[in-house]
Structure 1
Amino acid sequence: MFTLSDIPTFIWAFAIILPLVMLIHESGHYVMARFFGGKMKFTLGRGKVIFKLGDFEIRRVYFLDSWCQIDELEVSNRWSHALVYLGGSIFNLITIFILNALITYGVLEPHIFFYQFVYFSLYFIFFALLPVEYGEGHPSDGKAVYDVIRHGTKRDPLD
């Protein structure tokens, strides 16, 4: 049962863990795009920009949304674009395996922080790979992968 004593954990989850999971997810897209010779604009949040460093920016409501926008890839084919779209989920999955291994081998103690981190990571993977249109030309990563493999259609920005 959710009680008032759970409010600090709730705030912790949305103020720290969710943005961290989003950062890892978008980093996956970013690294894959760079691997294929592309450049990306990488944004966390909505609203006014509060921090900018090169291609990376954080906006005022930093826990609400995240996305990347690809400039053309040097290695530009269906598979390179599909891997860029899958990069976020791949990075989320890798961090889940690393975290679980660290807990299994006693490097880290089990903690609610890690449970929530894995929960949000799995949430991100599931909804990123669900092949749907979010509206206004914004496909999920799964829909973008489907479109690029099936039709050769490259979709931006990445959500």
Structure 2
Amino acid sequence: MFTLEDMWVFFLSLLVILPFITMVHQLGHAFFIWVFGGKSTFTIGTGKKLFNIGPMEFRRIYFWHSFCQIEKLKWDTKTAHVLILLGGTIFNILSVFVVNSMIVAGILPEHIIFYNFVYFTIYFVFFSLFPARFSEDHPSDLMAIYDLFKYGKGKDPID
């Protein structure tokens, strides 16, 4: 049962774990952009810009929304774009396996924080693979793959 004592875990999950999951997701996109010879920048959050760390830009409402911009790819194919679009989901799913493996191995304790990490990650993956448009310029990753095959090259940015 959820009680007032659980509120700190909720806020920790919302303000720390969810943004971390978002960064893992965006790093997945960035990794595949790098594999295909491109460069990327990504934004975590919305609202007024707070600061940059390398190619990462952090905004005031850092726990809500994120996107990745692709600069020119060296190997610009549909396969490359599909892997780039799925890269976030791949990294998110891998992170669940890593956390669960570390719990099974006794490296991490069984704790509600890690449960929430897995829960929020699955939530994130679901909406990444749900074919929807979050706004006119921001389709889900699966919707961007659909657009890629229906209309040709994908549009930036990647959610």
2:48 corresponding residue in structure 1: 48
Note the C-alpha offset of 1:150.
4.3
Conserved? CA contact 1:139–1:155, under 8 Å: no
Runs of 4+ in 1 over 3 A off after TM superposition: none
Residue type of the alignment partner of 2:42 = F
Alignment coverage as a number of residue pairs: 159
Secondary structure of 1:134's aligned partner: strand
One-letter identity of the residue aligned with 1:41? T
Query: Which consecutive residues of structure 1, in runs of 5 or more, have no partner in the other structure?
Result: none
Q: Any unmatched runs of 5+ in structure 2?
A: none
Q: Are 2:112 and 1:112 aligned?
A: yes
> What is the aligned-residue RMSD (CA, Å)?
1.2
* Distance (whole Å) between structure 1 residues aligned to residue 109 and residue 158 of structure 2: 34
Q: Find the aligned partners of 2:121 and 2:97 in 1 and give their Cα distance.
A: 11
Q: Using structure 2 for the length normalisation, give the TM-score.
A: 0.94
Question: Which letter does structure 2 place at the counterpart of 1:68?
Answer: C
Deviations along 1:16-72, one digit per CA (max 9) or x if unpaired, are: 110010010011001111111111111111112212123211111111111111112
Moved more, 48-57 or 31-40: 48-57
For the residues of structure 2 that align with 1:10 and 1:135, how far apart are their CA atoms?
A: 27
Number of the residue aligned with 1:138: 138
With normalisation by structure 1, the TM-score equals 0.94
- Partners of 2:134 and 2:64 in 1: CA distance: 15
Partner of 2:79: helix, strand, or coil? Answer: helix
